[in-house]
Structures are given as C-alpha cells and as structure tokens.
Structure 1
Amino acid sequence: MRGLSSKVGIVAGGGRGIGAATARRLAAEGATVVIGDIVEEWALDTAQTLRAAGCKVIGMRLDGTSAASQAAIVAAALAEFGGLDFYHSNLAGGTEGDIDVLNCTEEVLDRSFAINAKSHFLATQAALPVLLERGGGAMIYTSSGAAISGNPLQVAYPMSKNALHALVRHVARKFGKQGVRANGICPGVVMTEAVAQHLTDDYVAGMLEAIPHRRLGQPDDIAAAVAFLASDDGEWVNGQLWHVNGGSLLRD
C-alpha cells in the first residue's frame, strides 16, 4: 500500500482476532502501530511478537468505554512516535443476553451501546483533534453486517452498530474538507479465535453453504481492507460502510 511506511496508527482491540491481524498487516506494510486492548496481556504479547520481527510497535491497556483511557492511548502514540495518522477503532461485544426487543434487559442495552457506539465516539473525540492538527488522517471503524441484516435474535447490537454508522457519516461530512477520512468495515462471519470456539462443525458448514463463496472469512481479510483505508491508496474513499463478507450480504 502506498504511504503506510510513513504513518503512525492506533489499533484498538488489537490484542487478538481482527485487531491483531490488522496490527500485523499494518506493521508488515511498514506502519508504526500502537496496540490497545482491554486485556493488556494480549496487547503486550502481540506487540512483543511484532517487535521481535523488527516492527515498530507498542502495546498497552485500553478500555474503549473510558474517555481517559482513549486519551491515554492517543497520548502514547504522540509520546512514543511523534504523531498519529490513523485510528482503527475495532471494538465490539456485549452480545450476551441480547435477544429480541421484549427479552433484552436495559442493562444489556446499555452495555451494548457502551461497547459498540460510545467507545467509537470516545475514540473519535480523542484522536480527531490530533488528526486535524496533523492536516488530516483516517478514522476506520469496525461495524458489522448485523446492522442491516434484520437479525430476529438480536436487537441491541444491531441498534448500536447503526449508531456507529451515523458517526462514520458525521465525521466524513464534517471534517472531510480538513483532510479527515472516516469509513467503516462491516465484516461477515470471520473465524476469529472467539468465534471459532463457540461454533460447531455443523453450524460452520451451514454458514458456508449459505454464502456464495468457497470459505468463511479470516481476520486477514478485514486487515487488508483496513490497511487500504489507512493508506494513501484509500485517499478517495470517505463516508463509506464496506461490507467485507464473502457475498453473504449483497449491497449497492
């Protein structure tokens, strides 16, 4: 990708799964990366592995739902590497107990919005002033195909992801003239460690049968899309929600 070797970025939720794959891809492209994760050990371990391979990476704890923690990871990028060019806000979760609208508790709703909407809002508040001062940059958010698929078995998670889509478009519209690009990626079924351990072989076979592709997603598939959006090659993409899903949802 053009330009990544000169860029400094943050990957939130980068200790495992999609985030770790993204940190690896960005570092392999020559970017300097700060990895944050709610489980500090995961962030530190992933960073150590990449440093051992010669990459410029640090890891630290990040609670995405905390404004102070979001400010701290941006401050770390500035202190360690002198700037910030992109922020990949890759935070999701809170689906336990998220059933239908008549059986989803207020606590579950609040937790889902904290993780899947508020965290991205706080990431933007922390990173955006630095990107603007630098003359521009990229905010890249991980959303989900669940936002538009009409899942009858979840209500809070899709609602919170739609809130994230509004944030993507707001940032793109408001700050695009100042050089900031904001885009979201909506993964399909991606076989991360967390997903794989909860799915039976029969369920995986059923999901594969349902999509027009020969395989399910891998974290590297999403990492490639993030790397493009962070790079100079992605300079003309702004305000978009990309469905990277093997064709499970076919969208204009």
Structure 2
Amino acid sequence: MEGLTDKVVVFAGAGGIATATASLLGAGGARIVVSDVVLDSAERTAQAARDAGGEAIAVVADISDQDQVNAQIDRAVKEYGRIDGLFNVAANIHPDQVAEDTDAIGIDLAAWQRTIDVNLTGYLLTLKAALPHMIAGGGGSVVNTISNAVYAGMPDKVAYSVTKSGITALTRHVARRYGKDRIRANSLSPGLVLTEQTKLNLPEDYRDLILQSTPSWRHGDPADLGATAAFLFSDLSAWTTGQVFNVDGGTTMRA
C-alpha cells in the first residue's frame, strides 16, 4: 500500500487483527512498536511485520498502566525518532473476566472497573502519551478499535458495550480537538472476526447463528480489518477523520 514508507506506528495490543495489520504495514515499509501483556503475543505480531519486510519491536505493556504505556512510547521515540500512528486494539478479553461482564443489575463492580480500565481509560492513556509526539512531528493517524456492540444494545456485556461506545466519543474528540494539528482519528468497528482467540472461545454453532443474521456469506478474517487499518495509517486517507469504519460483512448499515 502507498503512503506507509518509514512511518512509525505504535500498536497497543497484539493478536489477530493487529498481526494482519502489522503484516500490511511492514510490506509498505512502516516501522512498528507493538505491546501486549504477554511478550510472546507481541513478538508474533512484530514478526509478521518483519516477515513482510518492515521493522518491528515487541515490548510488554499493560494499556491500563500509564508508566508502562509511557515506556512503550519512549521506546518508539528512542528507536525511531518520532511517532506517526497509534493503533489501539487492546481489549479486556480474558475468558473469566468476559464471563463476569453480565448486565446492569448483575455485574460485579470490580469486573466493570477492570473493563473500563483497559478498554476505555487505557485508550486515553495511550493518547496522552503519544499525541504530544505526533503533534510535534507534524501530525499523524490514530485508529481506535470499537465493536458493533456499540449499536446492538447487547443484553449482556454491559461494560464492554459501554466502553466501546465511549471510545467512539473519544475518537471524535481527538479528531475535532487536534485536527488543526494534523492529527486524524478514526474508529475501526469489526464484526465477528475469526481470530485464533475467537475460534478457541466461541462455539462453532454460535458462530453459525451469528452468520445467519448477517448479509455476508462468511465471517470476517483479520486481514479484512488489517486492510482498512493500513489504509487509515497511510497517506491515502489524508482527508479522512472522525469516522467509524464498520468492517463487519454488512451487519451494520448506517447512513
């Protein structure tokens, strides 16, 4: 893809969508610093960028810890001199914690708070750390990952749904507030994407049930999301900001 050469993009979060995006950015000549709470996961995503011809560094960081987030941003600036992009793709997806995210009456407040800390406050912490460097360097692109749970009115996963809605508002705040500083910010909203984590945690019969309710003939692949994210980090999207990109096989159709 055009317009990625030598761009420095920080990934907060690894795994399927991040790995597919890293591969495309690497092929375009970008340089990546990717973090995860598990180093092996971050390293696999970084290796995908290297295998495609790019440069990449893997680090350990918990997105909900400001000191760890700052350390990742500092590492990116030290290694590559600047930051051109920020990809927030981390989420609180540990199966035990997901199971605790129920409804407004039943949810335990500790489970609520942990999801808020990772899914919403964590995105703010990365922005606080990265935006000053991006502005000083002449601008850049932020891509925040949300979910079509924003629209669905889910009967469960109240904390997850609320945080993803909050990220949409946060994205548009950044687009509006820092647009004159040449900062672009957009949200990426996946449908059901068959990552390795999804295949492990979501029964096949449930996946089939979801597919029946979508216009598409198949579920999403991480590469579907990676292609859109790579576009948003490239110069090809230079006049695109404040938008939600629903990459979900037509599940969400909005004007």
Q: Check whether TM > 0.5.
A: yes
The equivalent of 1:9 in structure 2 is 9
The equivalent of 1:89 in structure 2 is 88
Alignment of 1:64 with 2:63, yes or no, is: yes
Percent identity reads 37
Backbone CA RMSD of aligned residues: 1.4
The equivalent of 1:112 in structure 2 is 115
Q: Distance in 2 between matches of 1:200 and 1:111?
A: 25
Three-state SS of the structure 1 residue aligned to 2:250 is coil
Question: Contact between 1:11 and 1:22, CA under 8 Å: does it hold in 2?
Answer: no
| Distance verdict in 2 for CA 1:54–1:185, change over 3 Å | closer
Provide Cα deviations, 1:71-90, integer angstroms capped at 9, x if missing partner.
11111111111111001011
**Post-superposition offset of 1:218:** 0.8
- Partner residue of 2:187 out of 184, 201, 204: 184
| Distance verdict in 2 for CA 1:200–1:89, change over 3 Å | same
Equivalent residues in 2 for 1:13-92 (5 A)?
Answer: 13-14=13-14, 16-48=15-47, 50-51=49-50, 54-92=53-91
| Distance verdict in 2 for CA 1:4–1:155, change over 3 Å | same
1:17 maps to a residue whose letter is G
Question: Contact between 1:96 and 1:108, CA under 8 Å: does it hold in 2?
Answer: no
Q: Distance in 2 between matches of 1:178 and 1:55?
A: 27
| Distance verdict in 2 for CA 1:52–1:204, change over 3 Å | closer
Three-state SS of the structure 2 residue aligned to 1:243 is strand
Question: Contact between 2:211 and 2:218, CA under 8 Å: does it hold in 1?
Answer: yes
**Post-superposition offset of 1:175:** 0.4
Q: Distance in 2 between matches of 1:64 and 1:122?
A: 7
Question: Contact between 2:120 and 2:163, CA under 8 Å: does it hold in 1?
Answer: yes
2:208 maps to a residue whose letter is A
Provide Cα deviations, 1:129-169, integer angstroms capped at 9, x if missing partner.
00100111011101111112100122111111111111101
| Distance verdict in 2 for CA 1:82–1:148, change over 3 Å | same
The equivalent of 1:139 in structure 2 is 142
**Post-superposition offset of 1:96:** 2.8
Provide Cα deviations, 1:26-69, integer angstroms capped at 9, x if missing partner.
11121111111111122124324543554211111121001111
Q: Distance in 1 between matches of 2:248 and 2:40?
A: 30
Three-state SS of the structure 2 residue aligned to 1:138 is strand
Q: Distance in 1 between matches of 2:206 and 2:52?
A: 37
**Post-superposition offset of 1:193:** 0.9
The equivalent of 2:247 in structure 1 is 244
Q: Distance in 1 between matches of 2:195 and 2:129?
A: 28
Alignment of 1:169 with 2:169, yes or no, is: no
My pick for the range that moved more, 93-102 or 80-89, is 93-102
Q: Which ranges of structure 2 fall in alignment gaps of 5 or more residues?
A: none
Question: Contact between 2:89 and 2:144, CA under 8 Å: does it hold in 1?
Answer: yes
1:87 maps to a residue whose letter is L
Q: Distance in 2 between matches of 1:54 and 1:140?
A: 22
**Post-superposition offset of 1:200:** 2.3
Q: Distance in 2 between matches of 1:237 and 1:161?
A: 21
Q: Distance in 1 between matches of 2:247 and 2:44?
A: 28
Q: Distance in 1 between matches of 2:41 and 2:159?
A: 27
Q: How many residue pairs are counted as aligned between the two chains?
A: 251
